[in-house]
């Protein structure tokens, strides 16, 4: 089973709201990722957690705040977003701790975020 789940499926928020995206995997994977995907573009890496510690932050604005409370759960806290942050947010996980070049990332279905 290679399932990554994400909630909510859709989210609409105003620029002053605070919301969170949630990602879960129960495969025992040690690395978890957040990607942002704009329409008709490939996913762009935002953050990587390895063994529950932040390994990579791709210079993401501080209005995005990741959190990894345990090895199965990854959150993305959102605050004071801009309309240009509207996108599909994808979570992924991989078995080994990051980085392992031969590892495979498995993606969740994504959260479609709209910022008004």
Partner 1 sequence: AQSVTQPDIHITVSEGASLELRCNYSYGATPYLFWYVQSPGQGLQLLLKYFSGDTLVQGIKGFEAEFKRSQSSFNLRKPSVHWSDAAEYFCAVVYPNAGGTSYGKLTFGQGTILTVHP
Residues at the interface with partner 1 (CB under 8 A): 2, 4, 6, 40-43, 45, 56, 88, 90, 92, 98-110, 112
In the complex, least distance from residue 16 CB atom to partner 1, rounded to whole angstroms: 27
In the complex, least distance from residue 100 CB atom to partner 1, rounded to whole angstroms: 6
| Nearer CB in complex with partner 1: 79/112 | 112
| Nearer CB in complex with partner 1: 62/102 | 102
Phi-psi region of 85 (alpha: psi -120 to 50; beta: other; left: phi over 0): alpha
Q: Find the farthest-apart pair of alpha carbons in the chain and give their distance in angstroms, rounded.
A: 41
In the complex, least distance from residue 17 CB atom to partner 1, rounded to whole angstroms: 22
Structure tokens at 103: 């590892």
Order the strands of the 73-79 sheet from edge to edge.
Answer: 4-7, 18-25, 73-79, 64-70
| Nearer CB in complex with partner 1: 6/32 | 6
């Amino acid at each position: 089973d290679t399932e990554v789940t994400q909630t909510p499926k859709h989210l609409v928020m105003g620029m002053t709201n605070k919301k969170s995206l949630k990602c879960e995997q129960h495969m025992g994977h040690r690395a978890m990722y957040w990607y942002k995907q704009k329409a008709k573009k490939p996913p762009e890496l935002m953050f990587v957690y390895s063994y529950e510690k932040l390994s990579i932050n791709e210079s993401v604005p501080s209005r995005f705040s990741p959190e990894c409370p345990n090895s199965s759960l990854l959150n993305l806290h959102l605050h004071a977003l801009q309309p240009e942050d509207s996108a599909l947010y994808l979570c992924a996980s991989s078995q080994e701790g990051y980085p392992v070049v031969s590892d495979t990332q498995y993606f969740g279905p994504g959260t479609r975020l709209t910022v008004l």
